[in-house]
Amino acid sequence: MIRLFAAIAIPEDIGGALLVRQKGVENARWRPVEALHVTLRFFGDLREDVARDLDTELSAVGGRPFPIVLEGVGAFGEGADIHAIWAGVQESPELRHLARTCETAARRAGLKPEGRHYRPHVTLAYTRRPNPDEVAGWIQANNLLKSPPIWVDRFSLYSSHQTKEGSAYRLEAEYPLG
């Protein structure tokens, strides 16, 4: 079994600008720059044969390159149940289309439909029982975040492996756009 997801990597220069914001929430497990990405579709744990079928389907995904912009910040969960801090992604029809085509590829490979509403974001930290006031303060201090445009000319398939520091990702395949 291999745990897979499709995503757009955040370039190092944009990632570096995000890293300087990663402070002020005690016990937050801030993500390193190489782990920063916008997930298009989480596929979960797949058998090797299904993963090969998925790769074939993702290879057929087309589309033109397009820009995205990171904008705003927030958190998933409330109070002591906040479990992630994120940077948002400005609304983009092209990004939504790419996510939908990854969903279609997953279904063609035999995967069940994704039941969650797609909300593009970059996870900056995972938290466990954070101080809600610290998280609120961090959001208030960083809510005007806006990146320069990020040119999306490819998306990638990553595998995810658990480590002591959290999830580590490995690039499995890249799919160019255009």
Enzyme catalytic residues: 37, 121
Q: Which residue has the tokens 């927030």?
A: 74
3-state helix, strand, coil in the chain (%, to 5): 30, 40, 35
Among residues 28, 15, 33, 44, the alpha carbon closest in space to that of 139 is found at: 28
Q: 42 in helix, strand or coil?
A: strand
36 within 8 A of 15, measured Cβ to Cβ = yes
Strands 154-163 and 166-176: antiparallel
Q: 137 in helix, strand or coil?
A: helix
Compute the residue count for the chain. 178
Paired tokens of 22: 């990663």
